[in-house]
Structure 1
Amino acid sequence: MNRKVVIVVSVALILTLAYAGMVGLKSLKKQPQKDINRKKVPFVKVEQVNYQAIATPIVEKGRLLSNLEVNLSSEVPGRIVEVGVPLKVGQRFKKGDLLIQIYDTDARMDLQAKKSQFLNKLAQCLPDIRIDYTDRFDAWMDFFNAIDLEKALPELPEITTGKEKVFLASRNILGDYYAIKSSEVKLSKYRIYAPFTGSYVQVSTQKGAVAGMGAKLAGLIESSKLELQVPVESEDIKWLRIGDQVDVLTSDGEKIAYGKLIRKSEFVDEGTQSIAVFVGLKTNNSELYQGQYLTAKFNGKLIDQVMEIPRNAVFRSNRVFVVEENMLKEKQINVLKRNENTLIFNGLTKGELLVTTVPVKAAENMKVQILK
Structure 2
Amino acid sequence: MKRKVIIVLLVLATLAVGFLAMEGLSSLKKAPKKNLDKIKLPVVKVKVVDYDNLSSPIVEKGRLASNLEVNLSSEVAGRIVDTGVPLKVGQKFKKGQLLIRIYEEDAKMDLRAQKSRFLNKLAENLPDIKVDYADNFDVWMAFFNAINLEESIPELPKLKSDQEKVFMASRNVLGDYYAIKSEEVKLNKRKIYAPFNGSYVEVNAQIGSVAGMGSKLAGIIESNNLELQVPIESNEISWLHLNEKVDILDSRGDVILTGKLVRKSDFVDQGTQSISVFVKLENTTEKELFQGQFLTARFNGKMIANVMEIPRNAVFSSNKVFVVEGDILKEKVINVVKRNENTLVFNGLKEGELLVVEPPVKATENMQVQIKK
What residue number does 2:355 align with?
356
Deviation at 1:297, TM superposition (A): 1.5
What residue number does 1:213 align with?
213
- Gapped regions of structure 1 (runs ≥ 5): 1-39
Identical residues among aligned pairs (%): 66
- Alpha-carbon displacement from aligned partner over 1:95-115 (angstroms, at most 9, x marks no partner): 221122222122111111111
| Mapped pair 1:257 → 2:257 | yes
Using a 3 Å threshold, how does the CA distance of structure 1 residues 150 and 246 change in structure 2: closer, same or farther? Answer: same
What residue number does 2:17 align with?
none
Deviation at 1:264, TM superposition (A): 2.0
Counterpart-to-counterpart distance in 2, 1:127 and 1:64: 68
Deviation at 1:151, TM superposition (A): 1.0
Using a 3 Å threshold, how does the CA distance of structure 1 residues 142 and 301 change in structure 2: closer, same or farther? Answer: farther
Deviation at 1:142, TM superposition (A): 2.3
Using a 3 Å threshold, how does the CA distance of structure 1 residues 133 and 307 change in structure 2: closer, same or farther? Answer: farther
Counterpart-to-counterpart distance in 2, 1:126 and 1:112: 21
Number of equivalences? 327
What residue number does 1:287 align with?
288
What is the TM-score when the length of structure 1 is the normalising length? 0.74
What residue number does 1:90 align with?
90
Contact 1:87/1:203 (8 A) holds in 2: yes
What residue number does 1:170 align with?
170
Using a 3 Å threshold, how does the CA distance of structure 1 residues 313 and 116 change in structure 2: closer, same or farther? Answer: same
- Gapped regions of structure 2 (runs ≥ 5): 1-40
Counterpart-to-counterpart distance in 1, 2:88 and 2:317: 58
- Alpha-carbon displacement from aligned partner over 1:220-263 (angstroms, at most 9, x marks no partner): 22212111222222222222222121122221223322211222
What residue number does 1:340 align with?
341
Counterpart-to-counterpart distance in 2, 1:159 and 1:315: 86
What residue number does 1:181 align with?
181
- Alpha-carbon displacement from aligned partner over 1:112-155 (angstroms, at most 9, x marks no partner): 11111222222333333333333322332222222111111122
Contact 2:248/2:256 (8 A) holds in 1: yes
Using a 3 Å threshold, how does the CA distance of structure 1 residues 354 and 318 change in structure 2: closer, same or farther? Answer: farther
| Structure 2 counterpart of 1:166, one-letter code | V
RMSD of the alignment, in Å? 3.6
| Structure 1 counterpart of 2:109, one-letter code | M
| Structure 2 counterpart of 1:211, one-letter code | A
For residue 174 of structure 1, give the secondary structure of its aligned residue in structure 2: helix
Deviation at 1:288, TM superposition (A): 0.9
| Mapped pair 1:101 → 2:101 | yes
Deviation at 1:167, TM superposition (A): 2.7
Contact 2:51/2:347 (8 A) holds in 1: no
What residue number does 1:31 align with?
none
Using a 3 Å threshold, how does the CA distance of structure 1 residues 286 and 160 change in structure 2: closer, same or farther? Answer: farther
Counterpart-to-counterpart distance in 1, 2:81 and 2:332: 79
What residue number does 2:134 align with?
134
- Alpha-carbon displacement from aligned partner over 1:293-317 (angstroms, at most 9, x marks no partner): 2111122233456554555666665
Contact 1:64/1:228 (8 A) holds in 2: yes
For residue 238 of structure 1, give the secondary structure of its aligned residue in structure 2: helix
Contact 1:82/1:100 (8 A) holds in 2: yes
Counterpart-to-counterpart distance in 2, 1:43 and 1:202: 56
Using a 3 Å threshold, how does the CA distance of structure 1 residues 263 and 163 change in structure 2: closer, same or farther? Answer: same
Using a 3 Å threshold, how does the CA distance of structure 1 residues 333 and 43 change in structure 2: closer, same or farther? Answer: closer
Contact 2:57/2:298 (8 A) holds in 1: yes
Contact 1:83/1:207 (8 A) holds in 2: no
Contact 2:49/2:353 (8 A) holds in 1: yes
Aligned pairs for 1:38-49 within 5 A: 47=48
Counterpart-to-counterpart distance in 2, 1:43 and 1:109: 89
Contact 1:56/1:239 (8 A) holds in 2: no
Deviation at 1:330, TM superposition (A): 9.2
Deviation at 1:161, TM superposition (A): 3.4
Counterpart-to-counterpart distance in 2, 1:201 and 1:341: 36
What residue number does 1:67 align with?
67
Counterpart-to-counterpart distance in 1, 2:63 and 2:222: 16
Contact 2:64/2:228 (8 A) holds in 1: yes
Counterpart-to-counterpart distance in 1, 2:347 and 2:122: 86
Counterpart-to-counterpart distance in 1, 2:46 and 2:287: 50
Deviation at 1:163, TM superposition (A): 3.2
Using a 3 Å threshold, how does the CA distance of structure 1 residues 334 and 174 change in structure 2: closer, same or farther? Answer: farther
